[in-house]
Amino acid sequence: MTGYAALKEKPREFLAATGLKLEEFECLLPTFEKCYQASVPSKPKPTKKKKQRNLGGGRKSNLASLTDKLLFASGL
């Protein structure tokens, strides 16, 4: 998979892959970061039933950076 670091050097390929110009993508990044941080739970909610899996359990993301996550979500 082509990452953000490789595509940002090639504006035509970036536009073809995402439908966005690099400037537009970078304008979306702060909003995406806020929404992403809000979607990640900070504490488990107390429940009466015991959960099967602890918070943070399960498969880890292969996309390390937020720019790669937004790139994936925008069309690649």
At residue 76, the pLDDT reads: 55
| Pick from 57, 66, 50: nearest CA to 4 | 66
Per-residue DSSP letter, 70: H
How many CB atoms within 10 Å of residue 71?
A: 25
Residue 2 pLDDT level (bands cut at 50, 70, 90): confident
State the first-to-last Cα distance of the chain, in angstroms, to the nearest integer.
Answer: 9
Q: Where are the domains of the chain?
A: 20-39+65-76
How many CB atoms within 10 Å of residue 14?
A: 21
Model's pTM, two decimal places?
A: 0.68
